[in-house]
Amino acid sequence: MKTILFLFKVSLLILLFGSSCVQPFKSSETSPVNNDQALDGRGPEPEAARLKSSQPEEAGVNSTVLKQIDKIANEAIRKKAAPSITIMVIKDARVVFDKAYGTHTYSDRTPTQTSDIYDLASLTKISATTLAAMRLYELGKLDLDANVGLYLTEARNTNKNRIRVRDLLLHEAGLVPQIPFHLRMSPRDYSRDSSSAYPTKVSDNYFLRKGYFREVMWPGMLNSPISDQGKYAYSDLSMYILKEIVERQSGQKLENYVQEHFYQPLGMLHTGFNPLNRFTVGQIIPTENDVVFRKSLLRGYVHDEGAALAGGVSGHAGLFSNAGDLGVLFQMLINRGNYNGKNYFKPETVDLFTTKQSPLSRRGLGFDRWDPNSKSGFPSKLASPQTYGHTGFTGTCVWVDPKYNLIYIFLSNRVHPNRSDKLIQMNIRGRIQDVIYEAIAKNKQ
């Protein structure tokens, strides 16, 4: 009965999220009353802004200017920067733009729907792992200035022992960017068939031997070199380590913790790790045709090789979602922790993690931010210095601008059929974000 009810809710949400520009926006569930009150003992605040759809002008956005998004998105698809794109724009808690472009792949002509599910890549960092860390911080279970060795006993005799949790979140721990474990596999590490000895499904016809993460990957990370500690150096290893800390301090697996405390109460039915456990293949946008490692089209399996070898759940990658769910999640953050009358965070916690926290870089704690010296073109040069968010390798981004009460969500599969940089070279994400700010400015004239 629970399965039937869940599938009914999923079907209902798909109907609510069509592929037209603006659809009636409804959360897929009503957020429950916060029975444990807020984490700081306060009762629920007056209902904070909850998403609803509207015409752009109702939120102070010029709809004529906004239509330029179509031209840029279609250019990206025509020039094969990505076969599938979904874009959502939220202003003043109003969904003023919600549109899908292209097809699932260049050969599969199935039109993209706004409800389709994407591999978020590094958006996992701020949509899962950092959220869990924020909650544990509020509960007094995570000290940002404590050393890693306090929480992970196996790290105490390694060079990771004295790294602060704060340094992990700021990418100032001196860790290597990543370790390509998938290029170090031996024939005994994997099998084409599932068995008790090879239980971890990495992709179709690829099963990993039992204990591979604990016996190979985790020791490899703990014993990896450190250099330039105290300087900004982006590293995925920081979020592998933070995930381990989150799970030890919460007593739950990361995927279960974020489902229980965020996705379920927010009604985010399309969000989670290992989506093939809950959704059909047709609901999920494919990523790369992996001819090197897994030798198959990746659809519902995480694109990142390290996250795949970790069973599809990692602190830096593995989360799948759609634009509608992300809109709810980041509206909660732009509301400074409250959504539909439920307090998920104290306002000061959101402020702490999303504002600039280091003299060495633009970063917040876990969150990327507006960069005054950025040559990448995103976030937009028109964004305010308050802007925070992140990008993802698969061609995704979320940028939140509190000054304008604005959320910009861009999802794509730019790594299909292989890893192309066209989306970056053409600055598609930044140009679309420029249009959004121009539409706001035009409406003020």
CATH number for the domain including 61?
3.40.710.10
Please give the full DSSP string across 323-372, using - where no structure is assigned: HHHHHHHHHHHHTTSEETTEESS-HHHHHHHHS---SSSS--SS-EE--T
Residues of the chain with pLDDT under 70: 1-48, 376
DSSP summary character for residue 47: P
Give the pLDDT confidence score for residue 438 in this predicted structure. Answer: 98
Structure letter (DSSP) for residue 103: B
In this structure, is residue 391 part of a structural domain? yes
Residue 145 lies in a domain: no
CB 364 within 8 A of CB 387: no
pLDDT value of residue 350: 99
Instruction: State residue 159's pLDDT score.
Output: 98
Query: What is the model's pLDDT at position 375?
Result: 74
Domains held by the chain: number: 1
In a domain, 29, yes or no: yes
- The answer as to whether 431 is a domain residue is yes
Q: What is the pLDDT of residue 25?
A: 52
For tokens 């200017």, the residue is 65
Burial of 291 (0-12, 13-18, 19+ CB in 10 A): exposed
- Pairwise CA distance, residues 206 & 70, whole Å: 39
Give 109-147 pLDDT, tens digit per residue: 999 999 999 999 999 999 999 999 999 999 999 999 999
What is residue 372's predicted lDDT score, i.e. its pLDDT?
Answer: 81
391 CB neighbour count, 10 Å cutoff = 20
Q: Please list, in sequence order, all residues whose beta carbon lies within 8 angstroms of the beta carbon of residue 10, skipping any fewer than 6 positions away.
A: 269, 270, 279
Tokens of 296: 């198959």
pLDDT at 228: 83
The beta strand positions in 40-144, using DSSP E, are 52-53, 84-91, 94-102, 118-119
The answer as to whether 436 is a domain residue is: yes
Which domain, by its residues, includes 423?
A: 2-140+251-444
**What pLDDT does residue 50 have?**
86
First-to-last alpha carbon distance for the chain, in angstroms, is 55
Return the SS3 of 412: strand
Percentage of the residues of the chain whose pLDDT score is greater than 90: 85
Kindly state whether residue 50 falls inside one of the protein's structural domains. yes
Please indicate, yes or no, if residue 118 is contained in any of the structural domains: yes
155: in domain: no
The whole-angstrom separation of Cα 398 and Cα 298 is 23
Neighbouring-strand partners of residue 88:
98, 409
Does the pTM exceed 0.95? no
